[in-house]
Amino acid sequence: MKIALDAMGGDYAPREILLGAVQAKRAVDVDLILVGKRAVIEQGLAEIQAAEKLEFEIVDAPDVVHFDENPSSVKERRGASIRVMCELVKEGRANACLTMGHTGAGIISSLITFGRIGEVLRPCVGLPYYGLQPHTFLTDSGAIVDCKPEYLLQFARMGAIYVEKIWGIARPTVGLMTNGREDNKGNELTRAAFALLKASDLNFIGNVEGYDLPNGTANVIVTDGLWGNIAVKVTESLSEQLLRRLQKRFADAGLSDAVDPILQEFFEMMDYEHIGAAPVLGVDGLILIGHGRSRAAAVVGGIKSTRYAVQVDLLGALRAGLGEGRVVQT
């Protein structure tokens, strides 16, 4: 299996990306194609690898999209690493691609390169909520920040396909994230989406609220990309802060030896680095996107998640589930 990795994307690129690539290459059976400025990658690898030589294919890409740039600019930038990475998948030279770079640019690159599946209006990023609820799936976790009700219906459907095909849960429950469980809760967008979901053939259980995400009330929880992103980041940050604060308090009480191994289990459980990246659902090719702040461990996690998506044929499941115009059928 070959995975194209954007060596230039991320707050700590290229160093942490390359470090992650080296660690993944040692731990996982996967071929990695490093995409970016060849000279930078070669020098970065030389610095990291020390004595040991690992084999990577390098594909040169002269341009990089930075986080403060307009993601639409990627349309005109065929030489950007995030575009070249997608192109390798399109050409069949890689099975999937992965970036820790600009989410918007990743989405647009994948749309331009792969096109959409069936009648998908907008793609979304789908993320297992992991940690406390590894089998709750959140869509959209950051792709589309300005949504229409129809998009949310499609996000729900794509999430349900993921959960059904990949996790083997039949007729997964779908909840719509709002400010309360009553049918009349939510804003203009969610109230309209509620009507569409209610009329659909999905196993829609109605509105859910913030409590329901860590409680695993629904298999699929639907939000727009802005709230989904906020919910995920609050979760990551809060878990980390709370566990650190506990660890310090236990240390002050002289309890570190007894409790640290157990706290470590929880740090591990809540650590997004195991997931590392989330698939873009709805585009006709396999691309995963991770957090900009990813360091090497998250890159390893992202490579594993990408490998898993290829192994379980996530794209095939979406093509089958979204085929024949079923996307917006109600």
CB of 88 to a second copy, least distance (A): 27
Query: Which of 28, 40, 121, 259 is in the footprint of a second copy by CB under 8 A?
Result: 259
Q: How far is the CB of 160 from a second copy (least distance, A)?
A: 21
Q: Are 164 and 172 spatial neighbours (Cβ–Cβ below 8 Å)? A: yes
Q: Pick from 179, 264, 311, 330: which binds a second copy (CB under 8 A)?
A: 179
**Lookup result for tokens 């950051």:** 142
Candidates 54-62, 155-163, 250-258, 271-279; binding stretch for a second copy (CB under 8 A): 250-258
d(CA 225, CA 106): 14
Q: What distance in Å separates the CA atoms of residue 110 and residue 132, rounded to the nearest whole number?
A: 31
> What is the C-alpha separation between 153 and 149, in angstroms, rounded?
7
46-54, 154-162, 173-181, 194-202 -> range binding a second copy (CB under 8 A): 173-181
Q: Is 40 in the site for a second copy (CB under 8 A)?
A: no
Minimum CB distance to a second copy, residue 313 (Å)? 30
Q: Does 180 bind a second copy (CB under 8 A)?
A: yes
Please state the closest distance from residue 275 (CB atom) to a second copy, in A: 16
Question: Judged by CB under 8 A, does residue 212 bind a second copy?
Answer: yes
| Of the candidates 81, 78, 77, 76, the residue with the CA atom closest to the CA atom of residue 64 | 81
Least distance in Å: CB of 235 to a second copy? 6
When asked if residue 215 is in the footprint of a second copy (CB under 8 A), the reply is yes
What residues have CB less than 8 Å from 109, skipping those under 6 apart? 74, 80, 82, 83, 85, 86, 287
- In total, the chain counts a number of residues equal to 330
Query: Contacting a second copy (CB under 8 A), which of 39, 43, 238, 323?
Result: 238
Question: Contact between 54 and a second copy (CB under 8 A)?
Answer: no
- Looking at residue 105, what DSSP letter applies? H
Q: Is 5 in the site for a second copy (CB under 8 A)?
A: no
Q: Which two tokens stand for residue 7?
A: 């060596």
Q: Is 234 in the site for a second copy (CB under 8 A)?
A: yes
Verify binding: residue 186, a second copy, rule CB under 8 A.
yes
Q: What angle do CA 85, 231, 20 make, to 5 degrees?
A: 35
Q: Which of these ranges, 78-86, 165-173, 265-273, 281-289, lies near a second copy under the rule CB under 8 A?
A: 265-273
| Contact between residue 243 and residue 263 where contact means Cβ atoms under 8 Å apart | yes
Residue 122: name the closest of 147, 157, 87 by CA.
147
Closest distance of CB 41 from a second copy, Å:
25
**What is the amino acid identity at position 297?**
A
Contact 216, 135 (CB under 8 A): yes
Query: How far apart (Å, rounded) are the C-alpha atoms in residues 115 and 273?
Result: 29
Minimum Å gap between C-beta 187 and a second copy is 4
Residues 6+ apart with CB under 8 A from 136: 128, 129, 213, 216, 217, 218, 219, 220, 221
Q: How far is the CB of 130 from a second copy (least distance, A)?
A: 12
Task: Determine the interface stretch with a second copy among 56-64, 139-147, 148-156, 157-165 (rule: CB under 8 A).
Answer: 139-147
SS3 state of residue 251:
helix
Minimum CB distance to a second copy smaller for 81 or for 223: 223
Q: Is residue 257 involved in binding a second copy (CB under 8 A)?
A: no
Distance CA 159, CA 127 (A): 9
Residues in contact with a second copy by CB under 8 A are: 67-68, 70, 132, 142, 145-146, 177-180, 182-184, 186-188, 190, 209-215, 223-227, 229-239, 241-243, 245-246, 249-250, 253, 255, 258-259, 262-263, 265-266, 270, 292
